[in-house]
Structure 1
Amino acid sequence: MLTFINRFTVTGTAAEFERAFERTSAFFAAQPGFVRHRLLRHADDPKAYVNVAEWEDRASFRRALEQPGFAEHRDALRALATGEPHLYTTLLERTA
């Protein structure tokens, strides 16, 4: 399992960013190897968001980024926010 985390600072309006992210979400959900994701908004800062996405593996994630339709989504989000994207592997997981 591979986890992609992207911290966003919204420079446009929150509503525009959320609409663009929803379209991007649908794009990624249709890609092979996509497992799930969550978009989180900071509790005290309405311009701060975090996307936490899980992928089966790095190859699936990379193939999704290489799809012809991805650039449109990337550019739409970049027009509305700055991002800090990083890939992580699980080191420890515990549930109640």
Structure 2
Amino acid sequence: MSFTVINTFTLLDPSGAEEFEARFLSHVEWMRAQPGFLAHQAVRSADRPEVYVNLGWWERPEDFQPVLARTTFKEHAEEFHRIVSVEADPSAGLARLDGAPGEPGDLLFVDFITVEGDTDAFVGAYRAYARAAAAVEGFVAADLAKSLFARPGGFTALTRWRTGDAARAATALPQYAALTALAGIRTAPATPVAGNRAVPAPAEV
């Protein structure tokens, strides 16, 4: 299980996308060099292009916490807050499955999930879904993380696909129907901005 930092960035001015992406790419280049950093995936919402989501995977919370105190991080954070609002959701990575290597034209979907009942049952159902989805031609990757305190009963999932047809085929699986019976799921289609997904070893699915 990895420590997963999920940040949602919303542009204060929709015309500021180019500036934000340039600053963000500089920031993640610095973050990749920090001890304990494993990988990240940043996406831009297709339905709400003013919104970006970044999932950052770390070995342990203890590796991430010192980064927040470093001068460079504080400088970058100050720059970001001039152009975006930021919502942080520290989470625990619970499931990860890799298929084919990612490519620039892949489609990504971020699922914002709320479970009001048995969260363990939901995690088990998600793992069953991920295994079934991996058998769909066009599957690339899937991740599931559970919010530690910002969203009680909240989970975030990220799936990556070669085509929209592959993603739609996965949502037609009975295992996906089992998920929707256990949780409320809001799906946001997205496009990749930057990431180095292949670094961490796969977690149990």
TM over 0.5: yes
Give the root-mean-square deviation of aligned CA atoms: 1.3
Amino acid at match of 2:5: F
Instruction: Tell me the equivalent position of 1:32.
Output: 35
Cα separation, 1, equivalents of 2:57 and 2:86: 17
Instruction: Tell me the equivalent position of 2:163.
Output: none
Deviation at 1:91, TM superposition (A): 3.4
C-alpha offsets along residues 11-70 of structure 1, whole Å, 9 cap, x if unaligned? 141000001101110111110000011111001111011011000000100011122211
Unaligned runs of 5+ in 1: none
SS in 1 for 2:48: coil
In the TM superposition, 1:3-22 aligns within 5 A as 3-12=4-13, 13-22=16-25
Cα separation, 2, equivalents of 1:80 and 1:88: 25
Cα separation, 2, equivalents of 1:38 and 1:90: 14
What percent identity do the matched residue pairs reach?
35
Unaligned runs of 5+ in 2: 97-126, 135-205
Cα separation, 2, equivalents of 1:19 and 1:92: 31
C-alpha offsets along residues 63-90 of structure 1, whole Å, 9 cap, x if unaligned? 1112221111101111110010011012
Cα separation, 2, equivalents of 1:39 and 1:91: 19
Instruction: Tell me the equivalent position of 2:85.
Output: 82
Amino acid at match of 1:20: R
Deviation at 1:92, TM superposition (A): 4.1
Cα separation, 1, equivalents of 2:28 and 2:93: 22
- Bigger RCO of structures 1 and 2 (CA < 8 A, at least 6 apart): 1
Runs of 4+, deviation exceeding 6 Å: none
TM-score by length of 1: 0.92
Structure number with bigger Rg: 2
Aligned residues: 96
Cα separation, 1, equivalents of 2:79 and 2:95: 34
Instruction: Tell me the equivalent position of 2:150.
Output: none
Cα separation, 2, equivalents of 1:92 and 1:3: 11
Amino acid at match of 1:41: R
